[in-house]
Structure 1
Amino acid sequence: MTTKNRSWLTLAAVLLPILFSVPLVLGFFGAIHPAFDAFAHFRMHLAVLMAVSAIPALLLGLWREGLMAIVLALTALATVLVPAPAPSAEAETPVQSAEPVGRSEYKLLQLNLRYDNRNQADFIRLIAREAPDVITVQEASDNWRPQLKAIEARYPYNLYCPSTKRIGGVAILSRRPFALGTTPQCIGNSLAGLARIDFGGRSAIIVALHLGWPWPYEQTENVEELRAYFERLQGPSIIAGDFNATPWSQTLKTITVASQTRSVEGLRPSWLVNGTLAHAARWIGLPIDHILVSQRISPTRVETLAPAGSDHLPMLLRFSISGVDDSGPDQQTVMLTDRSAFPIRRPGAGNCARS
């Protein structure tokens, strides 16, 4: 190898890790600009690529440059693989420990259906097997309406938020009744659906959410539109959906702060689970589907279930609702009847449909 060729190889070995480091580092500054937050979603992938790209530097004897790149990559990777403790976890412990051991447990099933899913029967079988109390879905397109209509006998309380997009909207289906005196509602162009549901005398706000893609798409605008609603949520609440955002992103942080919720840990990559790359989803898929719970929701277990025909994985949350009064309705929450706090989208306006 000539001296000139070796010089080019040395330069390439140094520059390649630097190229990966730029978006990797910028991803930690998502609060400054949504473009940086878009990089954050791929932090895991960028960190691995940076570490691998540092190997040629080591082979060429550039130990300092190679090791520095690997250390930076592993440090970034640690922020993804080692979950941070929920800020409110310690504050909740006294409340949970004061609760009766035998309080009722409920189940919520969450799934992005995929609007053109050709294996819809898999989802119906999943419902029959798990028998959830509440179901939140996204991409409930016209193609899905016959199947969803068929299960309404078992889930008679439902909210459909249609979308002008061909992928369809969000929906909430429940075996439990809507809380007395409340009206389910839709936000935006099927950005979210909210319903307060009565769980044996205690109510909780259930939100089905579907954010757009990160910058340069509409995700930032979606979050700003939702912020005003989430800041007014009071009482027990569960936000479930396809966030199109990873747990370590600024998008998720903004929503958890505004809604005073925490992310339920234990979920694995939930997207890119079918098609050519399905076998590699465990390693390259993104955890973009989430369930957020408020202080008075006690998740006993959350599971990421087997594929049900969609390119997203179903999630099952087992939870109970804590409170000071076990004998009567929950009086500590605000119902969804405050028009100033929650402007209701009427079916006639094309933003909300309830059957």
Structure 2
Amino acid sequence: MLLILCLCTLLILVLTLLPLSRHPHWFIRGMDFPRLQFMIFAAALLIGHLLLLDRETITAQILIFATASCLLWQLWWILPFTPMWRKEVISSSDNTAKRQLSILTSNVFTPNRNAKALIDLVKQHKPDVLVTLESDQWWQDQLQVLEADMPYSVKCPLDNLYGMHVYSRLPLDEQEICYLVEQDVPSIHVCLTLRTGDKVRAHFLHPAPPSPTENEESTERDAELVMVAKSVAKSHQPVIVTGDLNDVAWSATTRLFRKISGLLDPRVGRGAFNTFHAGYPIARWPLDHLFHSSHFTLRDIQRMPSIDSDHFPLLTRLVFTSPLGNQQEGIKPEKEEVKWSEKITDEQQVSKNDVPTPAE
């Protein structure tokens, strides 16, 4: 029994310590994803130590200390995405229709053929903007029925799992489809005009994940996130960045994105809103994101029902509160993190100047 507990403690130590290296290999970066599962494993292991070991021995004390440290470290990353944390974005009860902006983000999963489920969600909730990821020509043809109510659109149908579409009830100007880091991985950038007449700079992203079948390292994904973060950091315009970022809300790189960009995460203090994998309840994490500038407060954020994709759609309702922003503040970068962000973009030879700046 002691040997089993020692091996389990060694395992949770390795799983916890690996991401600290910041090595971009897909396996190491993948350890950012199941932090909640690691936390549960560490908690169960700690209970086992306390019940089964003689706590007077040095071996038991070392095992208990190591496991408790891993538990607390994983909890430190997870806790902000629970109601026990202070909300980063103020809740709004403003029902003024012209000040609201609702966005439905949905990775449809290209082979999925249940377009009706997504169309029904759009008709039921009437979002101002629909963003689809992994949408090919078939999906574009099916979603054409939405164009009567959502006449503004940007379409980039691809059959490589990186197609993107944006449908909107609100005017979209300065539209650009860009391939910021990889030649076959697009992003969409637009100027969105609110009903108040205010212009919003919007970026829709879907960088490729680090994985054995995609990119062996996370450098391409990280570079796209950082270059967009740097681009919006000094903007005085209202800004929204949304999409499937193939990174979890509690990873070091998503945290770096928040720090460099200065954008806010409405999930902080509310919940994780795990959108992937829809088919495996015990292995879910938040891959679909929406970040915004301090010009907005939050009306509501919801994970929508399954549309037979491997992702759940995410519906976010914002309220445009101030043309000059308000007192909401995100997290600030340390000097070492700024250097890390520069290293990421330098290695991929990309720049914030490569990112379109609609509405500027």
Pair in the same fold by TM > 0.5: yes
Distance 1:311 1:56, change over 3 A: same
- AA at the equivalent of 1:59: L
What displacement does 1:100 show?
11
> 1:172 aligned to 166, 175, 190, which one?
166
Distance 1:117 1:300, change over 3 A: same
| d(CA) in 1 for partners of 2:320, 2:301 | 15
What is the count of residue pairs matched by the alignment?
306
| d(CA) in 1 for partners of 2:175, 2:41 | 49
What displacement does 1:273 show?
1.3
1:310-350 deviation digits (Å, cap 9, x = unpaired): 1111111111223349xxxxxxxxxxxxxx94567xxxxxx
Q: Is the 8 A contact 2:12 2:67 kept in 1?
A: no
Q: Is the 8 A contact 1:14 1:65 kept in 2?
A: no
Q: Is the 8 A contact 2:105 2:130 kept in 1?
A: yes
Distance 1:128 1:213, change over 3 A: same
What displacement does 1:199 show?
0.7
> 2:249 aligned to 247, 255, 278, which one?
247
Q: Is the 8 A contact 2:204 2:241 kept in 1?
A: yes
- AA at the equivalent of 2:113: R
> 1:187 aligned to 179, 185, 195, which one?
179
Q: Is the 8 A contact 1:237 1:297 kept in 2?
A: no
1:207-232 deviation digits (Å, cap 9, x = unpaired): 22112223663532133144334422
Aligned to 2:341: none
SS in 1 for 2:132: strand
Q: How does 1:42-53 map to 2 (within 5 A)?
A: 42-53=34-45
Aligned to 1:59: 52
Distance 1:87 1:26, change over 3 A: farther
Aligned to 2:263: 261
Aligned to 1:204: 200
| d(CA) in 2 for partners of 1:240, 1:114 | 17
What displacement does 1:129 show?
0.2
What displacement does 1:110 show?
0.8
| d(CA) in 2 for partners of 1:260, 1:324 | 16
Q: Is the 8 A contact 1:109 1:136 kept in 2?
A: yes
| d(CA) in 2 for partners of 1:148, 1:131 | 14
What displacement does 1:297 show?
2.1
What displacement does 1:195 show?
0.9
Distance 1:219 1:87, change over 3 A: farther
What displacement does 1:25 show?
2.5
| d(CA) in 2 for partners of 1:259, 1:86 | 20
What displacement does 1:101 show?
7.5
Aligned to 1:323: 322
SS in 1 for 2:134: strand
Q: How does 1:294-309 map to 2 (within 5 A)?
A: 294-309=293-308
Aligned to 1:220: 219
> 1:157 aligned to 131, 152, 159, which one?
152
Distance 1:243 1:202, change over 3 A: same
Q: Is the 8 A contact 2:177 2:186 kept in 1?
A: no
| d(CA) in 1 for partners of 2:113, 2:163 | 18
SS in 2 for 1:34: coil
Q: Is the 8 A contact 1:115 1:139 kept in 2?
A: yes
Aligned to 1:117: 112
> 1:33 aligned to 23, 26, 30, which one?
23
Q: Normalising to structure 1: TM-score of the pair?
A: 0.75
2:68 is the alignment partner of 1:71: yes
What displacement does 1:133 show?
0.6
Q: Normalising to structure 2: TM-score of the pair?
A: 0.74
SS in 2 for 1:298: strand
2:135 is the alignment partner of 1:140: yes
2:234 is the alignment partner of 1:237: no
1:109-160 deviation digits (Å, cap 9, x = unpaired): 1111111113221001000001111111210123312112232222221112
| d(CA) in 1 for partners of 2:192, 2:164 | 17
- AA at the equivalent of 1:249: S
Higher RCO (CA < 8 A, seq sep 6+): 2
Aligned to 1:82: 79
- AA at the equivalent of 1:205: R
Q: Is the 8 A contact 2:110 2:136 kept in 1?
A: yes
